[in-house]
Amino acid sequence: MDVPWLDRTQLAAWVRVAALLEVLPGTLDGQLRRDADVTLFEYFVLAMLSESPTRSLRMSELAAQTSATLPRLSHVVKRMESRGLVERRPDPDDRRATTCVLTDGGLARIEQAAPGHVAAVREHVVDVLTPEQITQLTGIADALLRSLDSSGGMAAMYRRYDDGAVSGAPGAATPPVRP
Amino acid sequence: MDVPWLDRTQLAAWVRVAALLEVLPGTLDGQLRRDADVTLFEYFVLAMLSESPTRSLRMSELAAQTSATLPRLSHVVKRMESRGLVERRPDPDDRRATTCVLTDGGLARIEQAAPGHVAAVREHVVDVLTPEQITQLTGIADALLRSLDSSGGMAAMYRRYDDGAVSGAPGAATPPVRP
DNA sequence: TTCCAACAGTTGTCGCTTCAACTTCTTCGG
DNA sequence: CCGAAGAAGTTGAAGCGACAACTGTTGGAA
């Protein structure tokens, strides 16, 4: 295995990205835990369900939309169900499948959590960057995700959260609870 | 709490960043675990120690350089010590302090792990982006880190991994085992 | 029809991270 | 000096995520 090393420019970028990967999740997670007793990942689950027209999604669909594995999602959803945020019900059409439904309590929870979370995202990410940098970041993250997405499960995201510049097609309107 | 929502451009960027935060660490971590039986975070620990002139750092310094909390580092170092990768010795000058020393085995391990890790970083990050995007990414990550770094513990990184464009000052030469 | 491969989820176990408490040591104000 | 405040690490408990093994179900081919 003979790999060319990173030059100084590449190294500078990577070191910063690595540090970011280490720090950012904890910061956002901490805010949500303290203020709304919800994990960042749980927030994503609630957000995805709340944006569904039926307030419900199949487990595998939910897993794809939250970039999670099925085992992980299963554990998380079980815990969320015990707290009354979601409900699980077997799908009568395909009896292997499970549908995850957002409860009224779950909806109330994410509506309560959203403003603080949006504020945190603004404070630590969005408002720190110039509009030009936001556009650049979208392009960069897009390129990275496409190369990582071997199983192609993120097509839904690209359709829904398109800013009109990356993929070229017009996107949907701004959703309610997704910061 | 009244927070302005994210517009479509901001949302597109944030959704992608969130997905990245969810996926990228697992990808890099998995490669290192499989190929070198080391965590991504453990790799950082080894890398920081290997770049120190004395092959050693105080725990708090090491924590700052790896963006970790002290409890986390303490647990990790204990496990690494039991595997023979590092050693811990009390500091005679300040008897509260502990110095963490890289062993020969630890050095061998990171030298063995480095090529595969660099390849993974290239495959999933560096080589996916254009040189221009690399520069943009450095600026973006830099801005985010500065706003996150409330305790100011990352000054060392900025000095060492400067690409000459962000802070303006000339940086050090490319270090040996840091991808 | 029957069988088998692939799919959808769940569960258990293990390792890692976090949080809060605690110990020991240093420093600084009085 | 002396005592209090704070720093440096460590530890234990609790919760979350990854991996592998497992159950039950579907769809298609022989």
Domain boundaries, chain A: 8-128
Query: How do the residues of chain B divide into helix, strand and coil, expressed in percent and rounded to 5?
Result: 60, 5, 30
Report the percent of chain B where pLDDT is more than 70.
Answer: 83
d(CA B115, CA A33): 38
A39 touches strand C (CB under 7 A): no
Angle between helices A104-124 and B131-148 (to 10 degrees): 100
Is B129 within 8 Å of A140 (Cβ atoms)?
Answer: yes
Q: Which fold has domain B8-128?
A: Arc Repressor Mutant, subunit A (1.10.10)
Each of the 179 residues of chain A gets a pLDDT tens digit; together they read 678 999 999 999 999 999 999 999 999 999 999 999 999 999 999 999 999 999 999 999 999 999 999 999 999 999 999 999 999 999 999 999 999 999 999 999 999 999 999 999 999 999 999 999 999 999 999 999 988 876 555 666 666 676 655 443 332 333 444 55
**Does residue B176 have a pLDDT over 90?**
no
Predicted confidence at residue B165, as pLDDT, reads 53
Amino acid identity, position B128:
V
Residues 62-91 of B with CB under 7 A from strand D: 63, 70-71, 73-75, 77-78, 88, 91
| Closest residue by Cα to residue B11 from A156, A144, A176, A85 | A176
Note which residues in 134-153 of chain A have CB less than 8 A from chain B.
Answer: 134-145, 147-149
